[in-house]
């Protein structure tokens, strides 16, 4: 699938470079621009990835820069720039540092690639997605947070490990914010069509839900920095759905405007991804306990947004296409 498309990745760290590598190896687009404050890092990684393209028969062109004029005409811009977690930190502990970084970056993106669909990856994800939307003055279809696919893929892995079968056949669904209050939905999870609730008992499912919630922290505990292979994989799934106008359903962070009973906040819900970014928001009929969990998640994100509001992060501008 080599498409005449351009993707720019802001942040050439672990997540950003892994997204680039994956896109180049899968021939998902024609051109990739990787931007980092540390220009040498972006240049070195871009060169390294470029030198891996030939054996794969990939025609994807790699370009590294610290100059935002190079992102012009991008179809998609992915923001992975920021500070990752250290052991003992929650994603929320990154709020002030990373929201400032995303604010600076989105102003450049808005200026040089105003029509690009923006995918945010920087944590705390829901708050940085809201920052990008508000600071950039974007319509909500154009800025999408990556997290639900990652949380769902963590849950899927845990389910197949617990069962000892069904590897690669599990579909799990995780709604909510990308934090400890995320909402793994066992009712909407299955193994090749067989309901999870018919395969595992309540206690086993609860154990999987807890491990899913703390899946990212477990990895930070082992490596001293946050995960990047699975986050990059989830980002690539979103990029390919948008570039290919797939109209595929994925859980993603989006601005809610009355859906699920909430307004003016970002949270993770199932959306349809296509050429316009978010083509549609899907409203699942949640039961009472799921509604309560989702409300908790919305409250957690809202308390981060309140902190940002008190720091005047959200001066609105209109995006000129």
Using CB under 6 A, list all residues that contact ligand APR.
10-16, 35-38, 41, 80-82, 84-85, 94, 98, 101, 104-105, 121-123, 225-226, 228, 231
The whole-angstrom separation of Cα 182 and Cα 187 is 15
Phi, psi dihedral angles at 45 (to 5 degrees): -70, -40
The whole-angstrom separation of Cα 63 and Cα 60 is 10
Q: Which is nearer to ligand APR, 90 or 276 (CB)?
A: 90
CB of 270 to ligand APR, least distance (A): 21
Question: How many H helices and E strands in the chain?
Answer: 9, 12
5-29 core/surface letters (b: 16 or more CB in 10 A; e: else): bbbbbbbbbbbbbbbbbbbbbbbbb
232 and 32 Cβ atoms separated by less than 8 Å: no
**How far, in whole angstroms, is CA 68 from its chain's centroid?**
22
CB of 44 to ligand APR, least distance (A): 11
Which among 59, 63, 178, 247 is annotated as catalytic? Answer: 178
Q: Which is nearer to ligand APR, 12 or 196 (CB)?
A: 12
CA nearest neighbour of 305 among 91, 129, 82: 129
CB of 67 to ligand APR, least distance (A): 11
Query: How many Cα neighbours within 13 Å face the side chain of 133?
Result: 22
CB of 204 to ligand APR, least distance (A): 29
Q: Which is nearer to ligand APR, 191 or 236 (CB)?
A: 236
Q: Which is nearer to ligand APR, 94 or 158 (CB)?
A: 94
Q: Is 63 marked active-site?
A: no
172 and 184 Cβ atoms separated by less than 8 Å: yes
Q: Which is nearer to ligand APR, 104 or 192 (CB)?
A: 104
Q: Is the dihedral of CA 229, 136, 45, 273 positive or negative?
A: positive
- DSSP states of 239-269: HHHHHTT--EEEEEEEEEESGGG-EEEEEEE
Nearest-5° Cα angle at 99, 28 to 133? 60
CB of 7 to ligand APR, least distance (A): 16
Alpha-carbon Rg of the chain, whole angstroms?
19
Q: Which is nearer to ligand APR, 10 or 272 (CB)?
A: 10
Instruction: Tell me whether residue 150 is exposed, middle or buried, using C-beta atoms within 10 angstroms of its C-beta: 0 to 12, 13 to 18, 19 or more.
Output: buried
CB of 283 to ligand APR, least distance (A): 28
Q: Which is nearer to ligand APR, 49 or 272 (CB)?
A: 49
The DSSP symbol for 114 reads: T
SS3 167: coil
CB of 264 to ligand APR, least distance (A): 23
Residues annotated as part of the active site: 178
């Amino acid at each position: 699938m080599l498409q005449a498309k351009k993707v720019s990745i802001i942040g050439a760290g672990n997540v950003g470079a892994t997204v680039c590598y994956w896109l180049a190896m899968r021939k998902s687009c024609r051109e990739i621009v990787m931007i980092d404050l540390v220009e040498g890092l972006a240049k070195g990684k871009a060169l390294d990835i470029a030198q891996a393209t030939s054996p794969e028969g990939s025609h994807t062109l790699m370009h590294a820069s610290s100059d935002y004029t190079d992102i012009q005409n991008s179809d998609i811009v992915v923001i992975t720039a920021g500070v990752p977690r250290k052991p003992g930190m929650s994603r929320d502990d990154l709020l002030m540092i990373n929201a400032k970084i995303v604010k600076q970056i989105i102003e450049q993106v808005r200026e040089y690639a105003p029509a690009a669909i923006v995918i945010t990856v920087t944590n705390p994800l829901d708050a940085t997605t809201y920052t990008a939307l508000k600071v950039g003055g974007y319509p909500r279809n154009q800025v999408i947070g990556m997290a639900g696919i990652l949380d769902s893929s963590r849950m899927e892995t845990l389910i197949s490990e617990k069962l000892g079968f069904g590897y690669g056949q599990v579909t799990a669904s995780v709604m909510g914010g990308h934090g400890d209050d995320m909402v793994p939905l066992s009712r909407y999870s299955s193994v090749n069509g067989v309901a999870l609730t018919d395969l595992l008992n309540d206690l086993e499912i609860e154990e999987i839900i807890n491990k899913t919630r703390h899946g990212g922290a477990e990895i930070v505990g082992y490596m001293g920095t946050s995960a990047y292979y699975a986050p990059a994989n989830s980002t690539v799934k979103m990029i390919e759905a948008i570039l290919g106008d797939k109209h595929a359903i994925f859980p993603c962070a989006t601005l809610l405007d009355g859906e699920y009973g909430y307004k003016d906040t970002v949270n993770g819900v199932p959306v349809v991804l296509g050429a316009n970014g978010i083509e549609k928001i899907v409203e699942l009929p949640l039961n009472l306990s799921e509604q309560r969990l989702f409300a908790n998640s919305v409250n957690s994100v809202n308390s981060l947004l309140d902190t940002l509001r008190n720091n005047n992060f959200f001066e609105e501008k209109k995006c000129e296409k």
